[in-house]
Structure formats: structure tokens, C-alpha cells
């Protein structure tokens, strides 16, 4: 536990952290990469360039300083980050590197004095140990399960299927021919890409887009205009090629009982974890299932034929689509008032995935419809944000 003096000192620096803003974390990353360029093979450099990773780290640092006297409120975020870290195979030594450069950044930008630096060192050490211990638990759990492993494992592509004009699915099976660990529908898998066509190793997390089957994993990847990894996968990874995978991870998965109504709300490629959930409950869920999806147009509507098949075969599955252009159930942005009478809003569990602005827009509507906060579950692609 932290001493009261450490808690008081760290909490008192929260306003200074807020004043520094993401410039603090920008300085941190620049400093760390200068001393440890090998970490560019771990961190998503695109997120560095867009500023999203810097913003996420700033929010984490500020949140920790502000809640240093009530760490329990941070535990849900700790679990989310710990799950993500295991897909990067983060090590205890890397926490030491981060701590060194975080303290140096605080010293260089704020010059707060040794007492503050000592307090932050103690506070960071506590938080790092929480992460290290939780991540080690996850590593051991995955390693000990049937079909599990630690680190990365080689898989080869046995199917490559175009699901829309921007989404392609890859079905992967282990090269060693041994069993594979299962996963909870909604989770993701870490994909490691190494090639002379890439400046750095690229690690990405892609949602698993099918029900677990014990033999293969399927990911469905949207080709992003400036996406280094997604363009490489679409263009250069073909049948018979191999990639390295970390074991499935993630804290976003279906937990709804079969007698509770459920709604899957997605935009664009955000439908991938939802499809895994739907495929997993299609034969067992007894209450109404609602599938709400928004995308640009029919050509970008991934898995459209499969979803129509499921809708035709499951009597209690209702599907609604919103397109910006072209013919759909509704046009324009997703407006839940258009189906207000079709759902029991207060009794339904909602699962959201898509761009952050989309989820924020939908979450506000759900709050207006008096949906309890505990009934709203969501996943962000990339650095986590709070809706």
C-alpha cells in the first residue's frame, strides 16, 4: 500500500498533469523511443502519429493521479489494459523501461523536486506490479489450457474471403497441427506481421469473427486507407502464408443469459465481434435478438448474405440496417427512435462496437431511452476511450 504522504503528493500533481496535457506523453514517447528504438516493434506507430496513443496514455496517467486514493475505481480499466498487453506479450522489464522514462519526463517538463519524483516512483511501482501480476496470471492461464500457448505461435491462412469491398476474412490454422485454445465470443487475437515490406514489426488486435470451433480462428479485417497492417494483410497475405498469433484475449464478450433480450449495435467493421457473439448464441438464445448495423452502403456491408440467412432462419432475430447511401431499412445516421416500439429498452442487454463517435452517439440515445448503464457493453478498436 502507498503511504499517505505519497498519496497526497501524487494527487496534488494531478492539476500539473492536466495542464501539461498530451504534450507530456508526447515527450515521454519521443524520449523512450530514442533510448529504446526496439520498442517501435511493439507500439503501433500509426497511433503515435495520429496522437491517439498519446491521448490514451495521458488519460491513464491523469486518471491514476486523480484517483490515487481510490484505486478500486480503476480496476475495470486495469483489466482491459492487462488483456491488451498480453496480446503484445508485454514483459516486466518493459514496465521498468516505461517507469524510467515516465519519471524522467515528469522531471524534465515539470522539475517538481525529488520528493515528488520519489512519490511518483512509489506510485508507479505499485501500479506496475498490479499489471505485471495480473498479466502473468493471464499468461499462465492461457499457457496451461488445452490448446493454449505463451508468446506467439505460427498459423497459416487456409481461407481468404472477401466479405465486402473493404472487408476480407482470413481463416487461420496452427502450423504444428495441435489443438487451439478456445475463446469467449467478442474477444480478439494478436496478429504479428514481419516482412521486409514493413519498416517495423506490426502487431494488431483483430476481433475473432466466428463462433469458436476448436480448429481454426477467423479474423475479418477492414482495409484502412492508411492502415499499414490492414493493407499488408489484404495485399500480401494469401493462402498458405503464415503469421504469428498471440493467444485470444479481451474483456469484451457476451455475458447475457439466454432468457434476456439482447441487441448488437455496430458500424462498419465493428460488426466482427458481434458476429462471433451471434453465431455462438444462434441456437441457444431464447429471448429476442436484435441486430442493428450502420454502414456507408450495400457494397461496404460486410457479411450481408450471412446475416440475411440468419435472420430468415431465426424467428426471434430482428435485423435493421442504416446506410448513408443506397437502399436500406433506414437512411442516414442510426436513429433508434425509428425502432422505438420494437425493443424493450429497459430489459435488453446492448453490445456496441464501431468508431468512438458512433458509439458515443448511440450511447446518448440509449441513455435517453432510459437503458440502465450496466446494460451497455462496448469495445473500442485501438486505444480505449470512455463513452
Burial class (CB in 10 A: 0-12, 13-18, 19+), 327: exposed
> Is 273 one of the annotated binding-site residues?
yes
The number of domains in the chain is 3
The residue from 95, 124, 217, 361 that is catalytic is 95
Q: Does 203 lie in the same domain as 168?
A: yes
The verdict on whether 217 is a catalytic residue reads no
> Is 268 one of the annotated binding-site residues?
yes
User: How far is it, in rounded angstroms, from Cα 70 to Cα 64?
Assistant: 9
The residue from 124, 135, 232, 279 that is catalytic is 135
**pLDDT for 78:** 87
Q: Is residue 385, in this structure, part of any structural domain at all?
A: no
**pLDDT for 54:** 78
> Is 381 one of the annotated binding-site residues?
yes
> Is 150 one of the annotated binding-site residues?
no
User: How far is it, in rounded angstroms, from Cα 274 to Cα 351?
Assistant: 8
> Is 383 one of the annotated binding-site residues?
yes
- Beta partners for 265? 292, 352
> Is 377 one of the annotated binding-site residues?
no
User: How far is it, in rounded angstroms, from Cα 52 to Cα 28?
Assistant: 14
Q: Please, what is the end-to-end C-alpha distance for the chain in angstroms?
A: 31
The tens digit of pLDDT for each residue in 67-112 reads 888 877 877 888 999 999 999 999 999 999 999 999 999 999 999 9
User: How far is it, in rounded angstroms, from Cα 248 to Cα 22?
Assistant: 31
> Is 188 one of the annotated binding-site residues?
yes
The tens digit of pLDDT for each residue in 44-78 reads 766 666 667 778 788 888 888 888 888 778 778 88
Distances (CA, A) of 150 to 99, 134, 155, 181, 242: 25, 15, 14, 11, 18
Residue 183 gets which letter from DSSP?
-
Q: Does 179 lie in the same domain as 74?
A: no
The verdict on whether 323 is a catalytic residue reads no
Burial class (CB in 10 A: 0-12, 13-18, 19+), 343: buried
Q: How many residues does the chain have?
A: 387
Q: pTM (2 decimals)?
A: 0.92
Q: Does 92 lie in the same domain as 40?
A: yes
Q: Does 136 lie in the same domain as 15?
A: yes
Query: Which residue range(s) make up the domain with 126?
Result: 4-144
- Whether 146 has a pLDDT exceeding 90, the answer reads yes
Q: Does 8 lie in the same domain as 136?
A: yes
Give percent above pLDDT 90 in the chain.
82
Q: Does 217 lie in the same domain as 327?
A: no
- CATH code for position 40: 1.10.490.10
- Whether 385 has a pLDDT exceeding 70, the answer reads no
**What backbone phi and psi angles, to 5 degrees, belong to 360?**
-65, -40
Round the CA-based radius of gyration of the chain to a whole number and report it.
Answer: 22
Q: In what order do the strands lie in the sheet with 202-207?
A: 202-207, 188-193, 242-245, 153-162, 167-174, 217-222
- Ramachandran region of residue 382, left (φ > 0), alpha (ψ -120 to 50) or beta? left
Give percent above pLDDT 70 in the chain.
96
Q: Does 287 lie in the same domain as 194?
A: no
- CA-angle at 75, arms to 69 and 81, nearest 5°: 125
Amino acid at each position: 500500500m502507498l503511504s499517505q504522504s505519497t498519496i497526497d503528493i501524487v494527487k496534488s500533481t494531478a492539476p500539473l498533469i492536466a495542464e501539461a496535457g498530451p504534450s507530456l506523453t508526447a515527450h515521454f514517447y519521443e524520449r523512450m523511443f530514442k533510448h529504446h528504438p526496439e520498442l517501435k516493434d511493439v507500439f503501433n506507430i500509426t497511433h503515435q502519429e495520429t496522437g491517439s496513443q498519446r491521448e490514451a496514455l495521458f488519460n491513464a496517467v491523469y486518471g491514476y493521479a486523480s484517483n490515487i486514493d481510490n484505486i478500486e475505481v480503476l480496476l475495470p480499466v486495469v483489466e482491459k489494459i492487462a488483456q491488451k498487453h498480453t496480446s503484445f506479450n508485454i514483459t516486466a522489464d518493459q514496465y521498468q523501461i516505461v517507469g524510467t522514462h515516465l519519471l524522467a519526463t515528469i522531471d524534465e517538463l515539470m522539475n517538481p523536486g525529488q520528493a515528488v519524483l520519489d512519490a511518483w516512483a512509489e506510485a508507479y511501482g505499485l501500479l506496475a506490479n498490479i499489471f505485471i501480476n495480473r498479466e502473468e496470471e493471464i499468461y499462465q492461464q492461457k499457457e496451461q489450457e488445452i490448446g493454449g500457448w505463451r508468446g506467439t505461435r505460427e498459423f497459416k491462412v487456409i481461407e481468404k474471403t472477401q466479405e465486402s469491398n473493404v472487408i476480407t476474412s482470413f481463416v487461420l490454422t496452427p502450423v504444428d497441427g495441435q489443438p487451439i485454445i478456445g475463446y469467449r465470443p467478442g474477444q480478439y487475437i494478436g496478429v504479428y506481421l514481419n516482412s521486409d515490406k514493413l519498416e517495423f514489426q506490426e502487431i494488431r488486435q483483430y476481433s475473432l469473427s466466428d463462433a469458436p470451433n476448436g480448429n481454426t480462428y477467423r479474423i475479418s479485417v477492414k482495409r484502412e486507407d492508411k492502415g499499414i497492417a490492414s493493407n499488408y494483410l489484404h495485399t500480401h497475405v494469401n493462402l498458405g502464408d503464415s503469421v504469428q498469433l498471440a493467444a485470444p484475449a479481451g474483456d469484451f464478450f457476451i455475458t447475457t443469459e439466454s432468457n434476456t433480450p439482447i441487441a448488437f449495435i455496430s458500424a462498419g467493421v465493428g460488426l466482427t465481434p458481434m458476429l462471433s457473439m451471434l453465431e455462438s448464441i444462434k441456437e441457444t438464445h431464447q429471448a429476442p435478438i436484435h441486430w442493428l448495423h450502420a454502414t456507408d452502403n450495400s457494397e461496404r456491408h460486410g457479411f450481408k448474405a450471412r446475416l440475411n440467412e440468419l435472420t430468415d432462419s431465426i424467428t426471434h432475430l430482428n435485423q435493421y440496417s442504416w446506410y448513408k447511401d443506397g437502399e436500406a431499412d433506414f437512411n442516414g445516421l442510426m436513429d433508434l427512435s425509428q425502432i422505438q416500439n420494437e425493443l424493450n429498452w429497459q430489459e435488453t442487454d446492448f453490445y456496441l462496437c464501431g468508431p468512438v463517435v458512433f458509439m458515443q452517439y448511440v450511447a446518448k440515445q440509449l441513455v435517453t431511452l432510459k437503458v440502465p448503464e450496466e446494460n451497455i457493453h462496448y469495445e473500442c478498436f485501438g486505444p480505449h476511450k470512455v463513452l
